[in-house]
Amino acid sequence: YEYVKKSLQFIDYNYSRSIDVDDIAANVGISRSHLYRLFMKHISVPPNEYLTRYRIQKASLLLESSNLSVGEAAYSTGFSDQLYFSRVFKKYKGLSPSQYSKRSHEKKMKKTPAQTGAFCLPPGASRKQPDNQSLASKEKRFAQLAALFPWESSARIAARFD
- pLDDT tens per residue, range 99-114: 998 888 787 666 555 5
pTM: 0.67
d(CA 149, CA 54): 9
| pLDDT single digits (tens) 133-149 | 444 455 555 665 555 55
Type of residue numbered 35: L
Burial 30-68, CB ≥16 within 10 A → b, else e: beeeebbebbeebbebebeebbbebbbbbbbebbeeeeb
* pLDDT band for position 96 (cuts 50, 70, 90): very high
Query: What integer pLDDT is reported at residue 134 of this predicted model?
Result: 45
